[in-house]
Amino acid sequence: MPETEEAQRTRVDLDRDYVRDVFRAMLKARLLEAKLSSLYKAGKIVGGVYLGKGQEAVSAALGASLIQGRDIFAALIRDQAGRTAFGEPLLDCTRTYLGSVLGPMKGRDGNIHRGRPREGMPAMISHLGAEVSVVGGMLMARRLKGELGGVVGATCVGDGATSTGAFHEGINMAAVERLPLVVIVSNNQFAYSTPNDRQFACVDLLDRAKGYGVGGHSVDGTDLLACADVIGRAVRLAREGGGPQMVVARLLRLSGHGEHDDGSYVPGTMRDSHLGRDCLENGIVHMIEQGFATVDEIERWKNRFTEEVQAAVAQAQQEPTPDPWDEDWRACSSEPGGGI
């Protein structure tokens, strides 16, 4: 794995606080998502639950590379870790999943379709690839306002989204405008149940970066330190004026598409391969071995995050759900002429 070797070479340069941020977000997201899965299986969550299990290193490395309050992060379906690293409160997640009217979506949208657009976190729609141009537009606005300096906009997609027209149009537009956009392609081998060989015919999705005229990076998504290194570097390049950057991460989704899906289409041999390594379990070993954290620290973090997750779930569960009678049922903020 040449990328891993490259990461090995540069590990000494990795910022200790950054790596610890990445790891903590991975751990917190894993604990939160385990809880969400239990709640779903207990029938406490209406609608789907979509986990980022196995993709936390990629997502958190991106989230921790971005600066909340300055940068833009359009998280997608498997980005709990990135959201956490970026600074989204746990309550935004639990309130949205559990339907609290106090959440950012007020029960009008659920699960991973949440965001705080005015705080640099657009709320994804289900149509894949569609956020790429939205982040591009947010960056264009910053440019027009003279506020683009040092700003990065980022979004994540999966292998499936790379087949959409929206992805192609969005990344091409960003390249034409030379925007500081980072697009992470987490190639988790399956778009729902469709394997790579039914999704695209190029040898490596990374080749597309050349076609688009954007920076291209490849990383072993199961390796926390490699992700921290490569994704951190891609964000830095974009921030320093290097134009759009595309990172292709190789990994395996360690859950179903959603918790309703057992993922039985994933061959056992693939699960047992390098791709199927758990980035968190593997990451714990690396954190300790490379001196980024001690066993005790990790244990303390785990205990603290477990409590935080419990508290966020308990609070959201106690909060009011939306009342149809209080809902204003308005899709426009203005009502020219008094309505439809």
Partner 1 sequence: MSVTYIDAIRDAQETLLREDPRVFLYGQDISKFGGAFKATKGLAEAFPGRVLDSPISEDAMIGMAVGAAIEGMRPIVEMQFADFSSIAFNQIVNQAATHYYRTGVPVPLTVRLPSGGTPGSGPFHSQSMEAIYAHYPGLVVVTPATVADAYHMLIESVRLDDPVIYCEHKFLYRWLKAPRINGDGLPIGKARITRPGKHATVVAYSAMVHEAVRAAERLKDEGGWEIEVVDLRSVKPLDIDTVLASIARTGRLLALGEAFPWGGVTAEVVARVCAEGFHLLDAPPRRLNSRDTPVPYHPKLWAAHRPTPESICLALRELLSF
**Binding-site ranges for partner 1 (CB under 8 A):** 104-106, 108-109, 113, 115-118, 122-123, 125-127, 130-142, 144-145, 165-166, 169-170, 172-173, 176, 330-340
What is the Cβ-side half-sphere exposure of residue 78, based on CA atoms within 13 angstroms?
30
- How far apart are alpha carbons 86 and 62 in whole angstroms? 8
Least CB distance from residue 146 to partner 1, whole Å?
10
119 versus 278: smaller Cβ distance to partner 1:
119
- How far apart are alpha carbons 11 and 228 in whole angstroms? 9
Least CB distance from residue 249 to partner 1, whole Å?
23
Least CB distance from residue 118 to partner 1, whole Å?
6
136 versus 158: smaller Cβ distance to partner 1:
136
For the record, the structure tokens of 258 come out as 């959603």
**What's the Cα-to-Cα distance from 118 to each of 45, 74, 237, rounded to whole Å?**
27, 12, 25
145 versus 268: smaller Cβ distance to partner 1:
145
201 versus 332: smaller Cβ distance to partner 1:
332
Kindly give the interhelix angle for 90-98 and 16-41, rounded to the nearest 10 degrees. 20
- How far apart are alpha carbons 171 and 132 in whole angstroms? 7
Least CB distance from residue 326 to partner 1, whole Å?
15
Least CB distance from residue 180 to partner 1, whole Å?
13
Burial of 179 from C-beta contacts in 10 A (0-12 / 13-18 / 19+): buried
57 versus 139: smaller Cβ distance to partner 1:
139
